[in-house]
Amino acid sequence: MTKILILILTLIFTFNVHAAESNKGSMPKHEWSFNGITGTFDRAALQRGFKVYREVCAGCHSMKLLYYRDLLDIGFSEAQVKAIAAEHDVLDGPNDEGEMFERPARPADRFVNPYLNDNEARANNNGAYPPDLSVITKARRYGEDYIYNLLMGYEEAPEELEVGDGMYYNKWMDGNQIAMPAPIYDGSVDYDDGTDNNAAQLSEDVVTFLKWSAEPELEVRKNLGIKVILFFLVLGTIVYLAKNRLWREVH
């Protein structure tokens, strides 16, 4: 018995040590409205986040999986979506003469890519390819917390670290060097609703929008999950009562 007790205590101690090591330097967690079993997207934050993406990120980063009509789901009207889409031109055709032509984008079109191809994207970013942001929160470890901390993680490089040409120091980037300059700073985007436009708020809003773009069905999935749980609770209760009634005379 003594040996078993010692073994259990050793395993507990080892587990605690490993847990402490894994938590050391872990990604800070941010409070999100969509977290938790009942979490939902803040529609105002989504619209502000789209504004940040539109004015700051869209010049370099594509969102190939989104259609302009998807913006209806975050509270934009049909007229607003049409106006947003019409700001961009898309290549269409061929026409009756067999030629390709450009036309204003429509709500049924995908978000227009800022570059014609990957080579143009690399050439305009010192050889670094700007990733598509459609599902970026699912493609990165720590998801939305990583993207938020990355946006807020730009600092002056330590004296002992030599930053390469065209690179910037970011404490949350692997290797602490990133080709993208700090995209967000205090006041870089003006909000129409009067919300404070400091860097932390801008980063939170754009990450909320990116989370929605990666999981637009999140709220529906959570609602369905709650209904399923309640269904099984009620069903379990009924089955338990029926079992007790049927077997109450069996000893």
Cβ(58)–Cβ(208) below 8 Å: no
Output the CA torsion sign for 163, 119, 57, 135. Answer: negative
In angstroms, what CA-CA distances link 169 with 5, 8, 13, 24, 79?
49, 45, 37, 21, 42
Q: Which stretches of the chain score pLDDT less than 50? A: 5, 11, 15-24
Q: What is the pTM of this model?
A: 0.83
Q: Which pLDDT tens digit goes with each residue over 155-193?
A: 999 988 888 888 999 999 988 999 999 999 999 999 999
Residue 67 backbone dihedrals phi, psi, to 5 degrees: -105, 150
For residue 21, the model assigns a pLDDT of 38
Residue 166 backbone dihedrals phi, psi, to 5 degrees: 75, 10
User: Measured between alpha carbons, how far is 139 from 91 in angstroms, rounded to an integer?
Assistant: 29
For residue 119, the model assigns a pLDDT of 93
For residue 19, the model assigns a pLDDT of 41
For residue 3, the model assigns a pLDDT of 52
| Amino acid at position 242, single letter | A
In angstroms, what CA-CA distances link 107 with 9, 29, 219?
62, 35, 23
The total of other beta-carbon atoms located within 10 Å of residue 224's CB is 11
For residue 127, the model assigns a pLDDT of 87
User: Measured between alpha carbons, how far is 49 from 66 in angstroms, rounded to an integer?
Assistant: 15
User: Measured between alpha carbons, how far is 208 from 131 in angstroms, rounded to an integer?
Assistant: 18
For residue 159, the model assigns a pLDDT of 87
The domains located in the chain, with CATH, are 39-154+181-239 (1.10.760.10)
